[in-house]
């Protein structure tokens, strides 16, 4: 139940990620600089993360593959939160050389660099697939609840906001903050009885530096931010 979008143009990458989680899940730690260095927020329950930024300005993130989860789940699954970190630690190697997907529940794993091809790998519990490269303006969203309806609603809103307001950083941010009180489970800032959007990450990368801005939300929808943090590093050449 997450939404990621990115916009790449010459010399710049901006990416936004809404993390949706069960209400009972432990609160994540805000992003900090770790080994290599990598910048990532930590999920205390799984010990990993849903998104990280490496020293070259490449974003690595994972979303649940809900359609496949209905078909196949490993008996003793490992946390998908390990996958962005593994991807970041193996930037030059083919996925098949470092990833043994069997222990993980189905997933979508993205690798989005400042320049060069994006990578989208899926695991459905039986097959590891490298999907076609995405465009430089991409929206990807998943939902474990009314998946088709939710995906169509968010994609339609994305297109409508860009058509009405133009493609800009402000428009993309407004999309990720969009909340509909009449249909609270369908828009990017979502809320249901069992789950809600718990955080918003915004990553910007230029040829000189990279910035990771992170905002956590209170449980009352659409609720103000409880904490904000920014981490900035020069880009490694």
> Hey, what domains does the chain have and what are their CATH numbers?
2-234 (3.60.60.10)
- Rounded to an integer, the average pLDDT of 136-161 is 95
Give me the half-sphere count of Cα atoms (radius 13 Å) on the Cβ side of residue 192.
15
Q: What pairing do the DSSP bridges indicate for beta strands 29-33 and 195-206?
A: unpaired
Alpha-carbon gap, residue 167 to 18, rounded angstroms:
19
In the block, tokens 């402000």 appear at: 170
Sign of CA dihedral 188, 191, 195, 201: positive
Residue 222 has what pLDDT? 66
- Structure confidence at residue 122 (pLDDT): 95
End-to-end CA distance of the chain: 35
Q: Is 181 a residue whose pLDDT tops 80?
A: yes
pLDDT exceeds 70 at position 130: yes
């Amino acid at each position: 139940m997450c939404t990621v979008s990115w916009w790449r143009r010459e010399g710049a990458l901006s990416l936004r990620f809404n993390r949706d989680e069960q209400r009972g899940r432990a609160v994540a730690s805000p992003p900090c600089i770790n080994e290599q260095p990598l910048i990532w927020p930590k999920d205390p329950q799984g010990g990993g993360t849903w998104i990280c930024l490496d020293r070259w300005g490449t974003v690595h993130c994972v979303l649940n593959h809900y359609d496949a989860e209905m078909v196949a789940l490993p008996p003793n699954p490992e946390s998908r939160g390990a996958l962005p970190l593994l991807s970041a630690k193996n930037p030059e190697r083919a996925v098949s050389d470092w990833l043994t997907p069997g222990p993980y529940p189905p997933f979508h794993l993205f690798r989005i660099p400042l320049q060069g091809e994006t990578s989208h790998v899926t695991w459905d519990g039986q097959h590891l697939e490298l999907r076609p490269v995405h465009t430089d303006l991409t929206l990807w969203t998943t939902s474990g609840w009314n998946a088709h309806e939710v995906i169509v609603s968010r994609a339609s809103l994305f297109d409508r906001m860009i058509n009405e307001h133009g493609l800009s950083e402000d428009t993309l941010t407004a999309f990720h903050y969009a909340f509909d009180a009449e249909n609270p489970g369908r828009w990017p800032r979502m809320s249901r009885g069992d789950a809600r959007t718990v955080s918003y990450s915004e990553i910007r990368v230029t040829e000189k530096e990279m910035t990771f801005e992170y905002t956590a939300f209170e449980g009352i929808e659409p609720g103000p931010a409880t904490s904000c943090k920014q981490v900035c590093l020069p880009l490694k050449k």
